[in-house]
Amino acid sequence: MFDNLSKKIGFTKTEIKIVLFISSVLILGFGYKKIFLDHKKTADKIIDYSGQNKLFNNYNFNNLNSDSAKSNDKKVDYKQEVLDFNRQSFNNIQKKIIPAEKSINLNTAKLSDFVKLPGIGEITAQSIIEYRKSVKKFNNVNELLNVKGIGNSKLKKIKKYIFVE
């Protein structure tokens, strides 16, 4: 029997005996675990929660309801609460003044003019000026797409405020 099996598989007789021994020990080990050890674990898993139930049932829920009702009746000025904890002065904050339509010439505008455009900060405005210097002058508004920081959506927002002469 071992000779035929060793010719089919390519193992020696000793290797076949070792594989059979290991597999039989493995099967016996799983059987022992299933029969004896798992039975003991399920018996140990029974837990008594009766002490916890007594604590839960003795809790006074009336106090809980009255405390939550008190907190719901309280009116809070949340803006003032935030301002109380914030150390920043809000008096000096200025809103961006949006320019009139077709009021900024791309070829002559200064940094301060570009910063007035919606979505354009100082860095992007400086990039526009640097690009203008490199190409000498803008030929059309769509050339702004070549400036780093300006995409299609930003160009759509500022297109009505700018023009090229």
- pLDDT recorded at residue 131: 93
Centre a 10 Å sphere on the Cβ of residue 131 and count the other Cβ atoms it contains: 17
Average pLDDT of the segment spanning 85-110: 77
- Lowest pLDDT segment from 4-8, 69-73, 148-152: 69-73
- pLDDT recorded at residue 97: 76
Read off the pLDDT band of 34 (50, 70, 90): confident
Average pLDDT of the segment spanning 33-61: 69
Residues 6 or more apart whose CB falls under 8 angstroms from that of 154 comprise: 119, 120
- Which CATH architecture fits 104-163? Orthogonal Bundle (1.10)
Average pLDDT of the segment spanning 44-58: 70
Query: Whole-angstrom Cα distance, residue 124 to residue 86?
Result: 30
Determine what percent of the chain is predicted with pLDDT higher than 70: 73
- pLDDT recorded at residue 65: 54
Query: Whole-angstrom Cα distance, residue 96 to residue 148?
Result: 22
Spatial CA neighbour of 116 closest among 135, 101, 137: 101
Average pLDDT of the segment spanning 38-66: 64
- Domain range list for the chain: 1-93, 104-163
pLDDT at position 67 over 60 = no
- pLDDT recorded at residue 110: 92
Query: Whole-angstrom Cα distance, residue 77 to residue 51?
Result: 45
- pLDDT recorded at residue 36: 79
Query: Whole-angstrom Cα distance, residue 49 to residue 42?
Result: 17
Average pLDDT of the segment spanning 7-18: 86
